[in-house]
Amino acid sequence: MDYLKIKGKANLNGTIKISGAKNASLPLIAMTILAKESVTIKNLPAVADIKTLLKLLTNLGAKCIFHDDKVTVDTSTIKETKATYDIVKTMRASILVLGPILARFGHCEVSLPGGCAIGQRPIDLHLKALEQMGADITIKAGYIEARAPQGLKGCEIIFDKITVTGTANIIMAAALAEGETTIINAAREPEVVQLCEVINASGAQIDGIGTAVLKIHGTAGKLLDIDEFSIIPDRIEAGTYLCAGAITNATITITDVQPKHLDAVIAKFEEMGFELTITKDTITIHPNETIKPVKIVTQEYPAFPTDMQAQFMALATQADGVSIIEERLFENRFMHVSELQRMGADISLNGHTATINGKAALSGADVMATDLRASSALVLAALIAEGETNVHRIYHLDRGYDSLEKKLKAVGVEVQRLKEGL
């Protein structure tokens, strides 16, 4: 197992190119199941979750050919419709194959994804919506067994709560359904928008893209003609590296980014006193000697993203005053707090609210990553800690950050990837 050794008090400066978005890539890879012919996807990030989903498709019979940051997926060779536990257990997003497999083949078995470290992510909304579309669903021996031998039928679906993967799953299912499907209270994340845009250009019309009400006009089983496309930039990776510049009081420029996807994050940087220079596809954060405290409430897009909460908590440890972070989306997403406390952070918890007292003098320590974004918070804290920090269990980081050490080294961070026990 690998860990990162990071030398603190880093002097950062330079430019970081942002990779494609993991959270956009996963549903778009699953979407290839709906394609008539092979699909080429560009700007894929080299992260573990992408490899896991492509392995799942390969196990189903698809052919996947890599070339640099590009993959060509041919799902016309799929013969198996069972997504087994051994892969699904490693990545909950595997549930994204449920809608497209069912829509294309009329039957599928997908392992229940199991628990998640940051809290419950129930899939009941996915299943209820598919049943409304005519699917017969049973749970047996840890597997979701779904059948729709006559195909899925369009209908009105109202999500009781916003669900990103649920919205994506039903969009894909509705693309091949008969008639019109209306999704009310749909997720509006940029990653969902790109899924809609690609499907909309491939034969299934979608109205209301980017809004909370989507109308999908299905093809009644006709497979999609999907042209080559590129994954949008990863807004969470972009926000993380801007936090690296902010916490080290450095000038960092990120490129290949879509600033409009980061409006809520940029607003919080500005509240904390940072000046940013923004162009069409770059953002530069400038040094700021005095960091103002901030109040953050995580909510669904376009509000402040839960996936940036941990990084801003690390940044808030260096603010002059008391910052408040309220986590409204996941009930167990403060696991990084105890690790930041090991480094000297003054943070108290009361239910879903964290109070961060700054400015804290952080010291290097051995810390343990507990989930993907918590891992990046520990890396950020390590950048300004006195001495060396060892971040263990970085397989969490590898799930979502492409070439993290390489990008950090390029802007002046002394970081090594080492093997445990050596």
- Which residue numbers are catalytic? 116
Beta bridge partners of 392: 368
CA atoms of 214 and 166, how far apart (whole Å):
13
Contact between 229 and 43 under an 8 Å Cβ cutoff? The reply is no
User: CB atoms < 10 A from the CB of 187, how many?
Assistant: 21
Dihedral pair phi/psi, residue 262, rounded to 5°: -115, 20
Beta bridge partners of 213: 184
CA atoms of 374 and 388, how far apart (whole Å):
18
Contact between 264 and 303 under an 8 Å Cβ cutoff? The reply is yes
List the end-to-end C-alpha distance of the chain, in Å, as a whole number: 10
CA atoms of 214 and 114, how far apart (whole Å):
29
User: CB atoms < 10 A from the CB of 350, how many?
Assistant: 8
Query: In terms of C-beta density within 10 A (0-12 exposed, 13-18 middle, 19 or more buried), how is residue 335 classed?
Result: middle
Q: From residue 192, how far is each of 210, 270, 298, 385 by CA, in Å?
A: 8, 27, 18, 37
- The string over 289-328, giving b where at least 16 C-beta atoms fall within 10 Å of a residue's C-beta and e elsewhere, is eebebbebebbbbeebbbbbbbbbbbbbbbbeeebebbbb
CA atoms of 328 and 306, how far apart (whole Å):
8
User: CB atoms < 10 A from the CB of 11, how many?
Assistant: 11
